[in-house]
Amino acid sequence: MTPSAPPVLLTALRAFADQPHVLVAVDFDGTLAPFTDQPMDARALPGALEVLIDLSALPQTTVAVVSGRDLASLRILTGHPDDLVLVGSHGAEPSWDSTAEGHRLTSAERSALDALDNDVEELRSQHPLARIEEKPSARVLHTRGLAEALAADINAAGMALADRHEHFTVTAGKDVLEFAVSDVGKGPALLDLAHEVNAGAILFAGDDTTDELAFECLSANDMTVKVGLGETEARHRVADESAVVEMLQELLTLRHQSVGR
Ligand SMILES: [Mg+2]
């Protein structure tokens, strides 16, 4: 890790690495992979997936990538690593729980999604440059790369939809507005996974609004890391995606020492 890393972060990493069973979880976009205009062009930084896989090979160390992306996209972008747990759609699609995979919709959720789709089509006809991503249980309005005024118009149209479709959980992120039929959230998904693998401490790093909700769910025994600028509930902060990789490499060294391998 660079000498400029705050001593408080190193101290926390050391304490975390000494816990008996740990869950190391990271967001993907803006945390492991720099943002790109086209979502499927995003790539994890060199070394990022490698250090996660190395960590997952250590005893009593579970590693997860937890993203707003759907599970299928997350599998492609991480290269299907067997050793990593993947959690897609903000927690609604955990790879470790096959019963939740694909998030089967109830008929009420299906009807709500159909009604939303009608309005989304209308929005798309008024704003042809708006990009709409369809997930199994959500629709996402993307405005990354558009001129600021146009993005603001599209976002306002999206917020008007949010007012009309109150059954959806609407989350505004960086140039995205997501309408989700289920309100699982990354926080509850992390707690579920930690319970499943019997992890006593969780490290979670993320950069976006949805990650803040997860930070709030975690306890004082856990380690929360905000990536980049902006207000946060996290106890720690690193500057960017490169600093996340450095932090994970430091954790790998410390965890090696702690578990004696
Ligand atoms: Mg992110």
Tell me which of 128, 149, 180 is where a domain ends: 180
Question: What is the pLDDT, as a whole number, of residue 123?
Answer: 95
Question: What is the pLDDT, as a whole number, of residue 8?
Answer: 93
Helix (H) or strand (E) run with residue 54 in it: helix 48-56
116 and 46 in one domain?
A: no
Identify the CA nearest to 170 among candidates 237, 226, 120, 221: 120
71 and 13 in one domain?
A: yes
209 and 162 in one domain?
A: no
244 and 171 in one domain?
A: no
**173 CA to centre of ligand 1 in angstroms:** 8
218 and 176 in one domain?
A: no
**147 CA to centre of ligand 1 in angstroms:** 21
136 and 74 in one domain?
A: no
166 and 65 in one domain?
A: no
Q: Is residue 2 part of a domain?
A: no
Q: Is residue 1 part of a domain?
A: no
With beta carbons less than 8 A apart as the criterion, state whether 51 and 242 touch. Answer: no
**207 CA to centre of ligand 1 in angstroms:** 5
Tell me which of 118, 148, 180 is where a domain ends: 180
With beta carbons less than 8 A apart as the criterion, state whether 60 and 21 touch. Answer: yes
120 and 86 in one domain?
A: no
136 and 188 in one domain?
A: no
**211 CA to centre of ligand 1 in angstroms:** 7
- CATH no. for residue 222? 3.40.50.1000
Tell me which of 180, 202, 222 is where a domain ends: 180
Alpha helices in 103-240 (DSSP H): 107-126, 148-164, 186-197, 209-217
Q: Is residue 203 part of a domain?
A: yes
pTM (2 d.p.): 0.78
Question: What is the pLDDT, as a whole number, of residue 261?
Answer: 61
**29 CA to centre of ligand 1 in angstroms:** 4
**261 CA to centre of ligand 1 in angstroms:** 32
- Per residue in 166-183, pLDDT (tens digit) is 878 888 888 999 998 866
Q: Which residues of the chain have pLDDT under 50?
A: 101
Question: What is the pLDDT, as a whole number, of residue 98?
Answer: 60
210 and 125 in one domain?
A: no
**208 CA to centre of ligand 1 in angstroms:** 5
**69 CA to centre of ligand 1 in angstroms:** 10
- Per residue in 73-129, pLDDT (tens digit) is 999 999 988 889 999 988 878 887 765 545 567 777 888 899 999 999 999 999 999
**39 CA to centre of ligand 1 in angstroms:** 12
96 and 14 in one domain?
A: yes
The domain of 85 spans 7-102+184-259
Residue pointed to by tokens 């050793």? 83
**50 CA to centre of ligand 1 in angstroms:** 19
134 and 49 in one domain?
A: no
Count structural domains, the chain. Answer: 2
